[in-house]
A and B are shown apart, each in its own frame.
Chain A
Amino acid sequence: MTHPTPLMLARYADGGRGLDDAALWSIEVHLDACGNCREGLVAHVTPATADLLDRVAVSLDRTMATSPPPARQHSQAQAVSRRWLAWTLLPWLAVTVAVLGCGVLLNFAEPSLPSLVLLLAPVAPLPGVAVVWSRRSNPVWELIATTPAAGLAMVLRRTFAVLVVVLPALLAAGVSTGTSLALSLLPCLAFTAAALVLGAFIGVRRAAVGLGAAWSTAVLVPSVAAQSLSPVLQPDSTAVWAVITVALAASTVPAAPHFHRLTSGN
């Protein structure tokens, strides 16, 4: 790029007299990119321009002194504590973990009861899952539902956050009572996936409530009443649970369009 001559710079500094528009613009564009020429321009600055620059600098300083300071950058730990989900889920997860803990204690106190950890494992994630995609628990749902981030990816991310707490709790409960880990973790995952797949059609909250009620009436209560573990939780049904889990998890993907909108059933 050709640098403007000192004479042209002098004319430019003087307001552009004697230069046509095209020359003026090309000097301006060049000055934007070229530090040397900007320094050259300083030598030609007229008193009026210098005065204007001074005034701008002084008023800028004054505004900067009175206006609020720039926002602080938040650290990663603060970012988590500012997440809505972290605060809303906390009570639900606390209850889930407490109920599992009670199950473990009851099994120790009353060994004749069937393993409560196995019986509670499928319904353990449901309270948390009901909250992840719900109109009721989130005051900002109407805004979130109009953002591009809303959809299956958001639901899965939040469900993952629920499982991060529930699965280790189940693991700890299972290890302490000596029950089969596969039979406590697989039904938990299967019911989580089922709540999402069913939730695509009738709403996740309704699906979670329905599944929880169905499991309680069909398996949990009869098992406790009869003091013997239901056949669906015997060791030979592990393979069936694994197949169901994989099938349900895979069918969340074709259900994705149903999560574009946060429907009134949620």
Chain B
Amino acid sequence: MRAVSSAETAPTLHPFLVHAEELRVRAGRHLAVDGLDLALKAGVHGVLGPNGAGKTTLMRALSTVIKPAGGSLTLLGTRVDGRADLREVRRGLGYLPQQFGFYPRFTVREFVEYMAWLKEMPKTAIPDAVQRAIDRVGLTAKADTRMKALSGGMLRRAGIAQAIVNDPELLLLDEPTVGLDPEQRLTFRDLLRDLGTHSCVLVSTHLIEDVVAACTDVILMHEGRLLFQSTPDDLIARGGQGDAGDSPAERGYSAILRQHRSNA
């Protein structure tokens, strides 16, 4: 007979991959995320909102870069707002920051390999996983080019490759479509749909069309709070003929913001 530890009896499945309650996160001194409640399951979630809504700060908190100032944040079933060990959660994370820094001397392959190594992937699995990630973002022909020789769109795709190299359960992409040409954006939408079948993908963007085309879920943020969370069809249904915007989804977006501002 032996004692059963609490780790063994803990549920291995959690209802939400991301669960935030009353989350508050600072960007400098300013409280950029202020009392956000959010629960996300697997799928592709598009984060929309005007400039300064707190999208990037939320992404940085979810990626464990910055520590929340208050509230609770649970990622993949583990609390990450205290002093807890973040290693296990971080193994299941993929992150593309808004300002994507890189080493100019590294080739794309070396860079993705280095990131795979930092993500503590098994050494034998790294070369294949790196090749697959590079193939998935369409950089196969540029795999051995130094990063300083890449265009903006290619750099963005190299950034996506390092984010997906470890098949993350939680993938955070901050403005991934910046610098991509229309054809690449279509390919990227396919990749998003593919990734969203098994993991929770959060895409922060200004491009409402990308969200409507590729996301299963729309999250609209305003001044650090959650304003709206539903399907893209629901967003479209909110828009009326009198609202600003060139597409039904844009009209829905501006209708929700207008309604919120008139209530405030």
* Set A143, A148, A261: member contacting B97, Cβ < 8 A: A143
| CB atoms of A139 and B83 under 8 A apart | no
* Set B88, B102, B144: member contacting A139, Cβ < 8 A: B102
**A151 to B89 alpha-carbon distance, docked (Å):** 14
Q: Would you give the shortest CB distance from A85 to chain B, in whole angstroms? A: 11
**A146 to B159 alpha-carbon distance, docked (Å):** 14
| CB atoms of B65 and A71 under 8 A apart | no
Q: Is B226 an interface residue (CB 8 A)?
A: no
Count of B interface residues, CB-CB < 8 Å: 38
Residues of A contacting B: mostly: loop
Q: How does the 8 Å CB contact mask read for B149-181 relative to A, with 1 for contact and 0 for none?
A: 000000000000010000000000000000000
| CB atoms of A68 and B101 under 8 A apart | no
**A260 to B65 alpha-carbon distance, docked (Å):** 9
Count of A interface residues, CB-CB < 8 Å: 24
| CB atoms of A261 and B85 under 8 A apart | no
Q: How does the 8 Å CB contact mask read for B70-111 relative to A, with 1 for contact and 0 for none?
A: 000000000000010111101101010101111101100110
* Set B86, B103, B120, B143: member contacting A140, Cβ < 8 A: B103
Q: Is A160 an interface residue (CB 8 A)?
A: no
* Set A87, A142, A150: member contacting B101, Cβ < 8 A: A142
Q: How many A-B residue pairs have CB under 8 A?
A: 78
* Set A138, A146, A257: member contacting B83, Cβ < 8 A: A257
Tell me which residues across on chain A come within 8 A of B105, comparing CB atoms: 82, 87
Q: Is B1 an interface residue (CB 8 A)?
A: no
**A141 to B97 alpha-carbon distance, docked (Å):** 10
Q: Is B51 an interface residue (CB 8 A)?
A: no
| CB atoms of A140 and B63 under 8 A apart | no
Tell me which residues across on chain A come within 8 A of B115, comparing CB atoms: 143, 147
**A43 to B144 alpha-carbon distance, docked (Å):** 45
Q: Is B66 an interface residue (CB 8 A)?
A: yes
| CB atoms of B101 and A140 under 8 A apart | yes
* Set A138, A139, A145: member contacting B65, Cβ < 8 A: A145
Residues of A220-260 at the interface with B, using a CB-CB cut-off of 8 Å, are 257, 260
**A145 to B66 alpha-carbon distance, docked (Å):** 9
Q: Is B238 an interface residue (CB 8 A)?
A: no
Q: Is A67 an interface residue (CB 8 A)?
A: yes
Q: Would you give the shortest CB distance from B2 to chain A, in whole angstroms? A: 29
Task: Check A149/B131 contact, CB under 8 A, given A82-B110, A143-B97, A261-B66.
Answer: no
* Set B100, B118, B120: member contacting A144, Cβ < 8 A: B118
| CB atoms of A260 and B110 under 8 A apart | no
Residues of A176-206 at the interface with B, using a CB-CB cut-off of 8 Å, are none
| CB atoms of B131 and A146 under 8 A apart | no
Q: Would you give the shortest CB distance from B224 to chain A, in whole angstroms? A: 19
| CB atoms of B110 and A141 under 8 A apart | no
Tell me which residues across on chain A come within 8 A of B100, comparing CB atoms: 143
Q: Is A262 an interface residue (CB 8 A)?
A: yes
Task: Check A71/B127 contact, CB under 8 A, given A140-B103, A148-B119, A261-B64.
Answer: yes
Q: A71-B109, A261-B65 are in contact. List 14 more A-B contacts (CB 8 A).
A: A68-B141, A71-B127, A82-B105, A82-B106, A142-B65, A142-B99, A142-B101, A146-B64, A147-B118, A148-B87, A148-B118, A150-B90, A151-B87, A260-B83
| Sample (9) of A-B pairs whose CB atoms are under 8 Å apart | A71-B127, A143-B97, A143-B115, A146-B65, A147-B118, A148-B118, A149-B117, A149-B118, A260-B86
Which 3 A-B pairs give the minimum distances between C-beta atoms? Answer: A139-B101, A147-B118, A148-B90
